[in-house]
């Protein structure tokens, strides 16, 4: 039961990916020789949304995240910025969606993180949409990067026409 409503079908709620992955890192990482450790995961996520927004904020969506552990904070930061640049290039070169990269303010960064970076896209209604984040957690603690399917949905919102047509940059040859 959620928000006073019963589910129409049985559901299983799993722990956060951090709970699962970090407990395994504790078993897998025995010395600096095991580093860096890089993991990537795709999973379906369900959130109880009071107000969904077509394409941008749905109750269920596909989520991608990477979790890494590094020998030093400098190495973690370098990798974090590499992932941020990968997100930027994908958005701009493949989706023809111009983005701005930047550092989140202290109040916007993930709790416990040293720094959170993001790419933000300008939608047709002149609002910015966070389309991917990359976070530095520190020395050996895992670092997380996220680029949910919101990035893809942002592309259709940015490039779409009133008739629903959308050709996204380099991907247009496959549309």
For strand 60-69 and strand 37-46, is the pairing parallel, antiparallel, or unpaired? antiparallel
In angstroms, rounded to a whole number, what is the distance separating the alpha carbons of residues 156 and 95? 9
Residue 131 in any domain: the answer is yes
Q: What is the structure's pLDDT at 141?
A: 46
Q: What is the structure's pLDDT at 118?
A: 93
Residue 9 in any domain: the answer is no
Residue 11 in any domain: the answer is no
Q: What is the structure's pLDDT at 107?
A: 92
Q: What is the structure's pLDDT at 47?
A: 75
The answer to whether 119 touches 91, Cβ cutoff 8 Å, is yes
CA dist 52 → 59, 72, 117 (Å): 7, 40, 25
Catalogue the E-assigned strands of the chain.
Answer: 37-46, 60-69, 99-103, 115-122, 128-136, 143-146
Residue 3 in any domain: the answer is no
Residue 173 in any domain: the answer is no
Closest CA to 124 of 87, 156, 165, 91: 156
In angstroms, rounded to a whole number, what is the distance separating the alpha carbons of residues 97 and 154? 8
Q: What CATH number is given to the structural domain containing 144? A: 3.30.930.10
Stated pTM of the model:
0.72
Residue 74 in any domain: the answer is yes
The answer to whether 129 touches 157, Cβ cutoff 8 Å, is yes
The answer to whether 159 touches 166, Cβ cutoff 8 Å, is yes
Residue 105 in any domain: the answer is yes
Structural domain count, the chain: 1
Residues in the chain, pLDDT under 50: 140-146, 148, 156, 174-175
Average pLDDT over the chain reads 77
Q: What is the structure's pLDDT at 140?
A: 47
In angstroms, rounded to a whole number, what is the distance separating the alpha carbons of residues 56 and 158? 11
Residue 65 in any domain: the answer is yes
Residue ranges making up the domain that contains 38: 17-161
């Amino acid at each position: 039961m959620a928000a006073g409503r019963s589910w129409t079908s049985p559901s299983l709620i799993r722990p956060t990916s951090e709970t699962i992955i970090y407990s395994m890192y504790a078993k897998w990482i025995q010395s600096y020789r095991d580093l860096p450790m890089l993991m990537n995961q795709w999973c379906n996520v369900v959130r109880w949304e009071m107000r969904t927004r077509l394409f941008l904020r749905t109750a269920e969506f596909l989520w991608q995240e990477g979790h890494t552990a590094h020998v030093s904070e400098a190495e973690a930061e370098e990798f974090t910025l590499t992932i941020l640049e990968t997100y930027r290039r994908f958005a701009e070169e493949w989706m023809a969606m111009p983005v701005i990269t930047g550092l989140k303010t202290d109040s916007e960064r993930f709790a416990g993180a040293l720094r959170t970076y993001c790419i933000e896209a300008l939608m047709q209604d002149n609002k910015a949409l966070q389309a991917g984040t990359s976070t530095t957690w520190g020395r050996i603690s895992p670092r997380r990067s996220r680029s949910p399917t919101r990035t893809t949905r942002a592309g259709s919102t940015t490039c779409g026409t009133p008739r629903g047509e959308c050709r996204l940059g380099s991907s247009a040859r496959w549309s």
